[in-house]
Structure 1
């Protein structure tokens, strides 16, 4: 679910018998609940508005900043296969992995 360029993950909460949304990529936590898609959208907007207002009041950047670096743990066998494929493509392992991740996002419609 998306509102104003912000994305949320929706899960079912068995304890409350409601759907729970969590807004992703924020510098803090913001969630919302609803029993229908319409209610989820409305509560998403309310929760996001409150979060953004608090950020404005406190002078906080609402979106989490990313460094562009992360560690990835994979099996030694997969590491070897990727390194060999990257070499065969005359690319660094980093460039090869970045292109593969970009292709994966584009194929899933999130790129």
Structure 2
């Protein structure tokens, strides 16, 4: 995804085939601010100019400019998840806020992919009568399927 960034604001870049130009809008604010240009250089300059005009307009009119991110937000997670998160934070000797920040950071770093690791061990036992049996030990859960192994052939 190609986005622009200037003074803490993020803007999109989209192409209009019909109008043969590039256009975009500032993301993550309540106001609607758009800009356009014919080249990548033009769209960058137009975006930065739009941000500057927006900030100047807000200052002139006394209107508070929307900050793209304040660093604070409220979430609703339900009582049970709230309790579990508080317990997890307590057992890690960190605050609930630190636990939430670490959880979000970990999810973003993994691109939303939950990575589950577990260790398991396979013991293959071949007895004198050439009967093969398999024992599987796992720390996560029981194996989903058991299969026989032919080690003779």
TM-score w.r.t. the length of structure 2 is 0.47
| Structure-to-structure mapping, 1:1-111, within 5 angstroms | 1-3=4-6, 5-12=7-14, 16=19, 18-26=21-29, 28-64=31-67, 66=70, 68-73=72-77, 82=85, 85-101=88-104
Alignment gaps of 5+ in structure 1: none
Q: Is the 8 A contact 2:25 2:34 kept in 1?
A: yes
Gaps of 5+ in 2: 110-153
Q: Between Structure 1 and Structure 2, whose CA radius of gyration is higher?
A: 2
Give the 4+ runs in structure 1 shifted more than 6 A: 78-81
Which TM-score applies when normalising by structure 1? 0.59
Structure 1 or 2: larger strand share? Answer: 2
Q: Which has the higher helix share?
A: 1
Q: Is the 8 A contact 1:6 1:23 kept in 2?
A: no
**Across the two proteins, how many residue pairs are aligned to each other?**
104
Alignment RMSD: 3.7
Q: Conserved in 2, the CA contact under 8 Å of 1:11 and 1:21?
A: yes
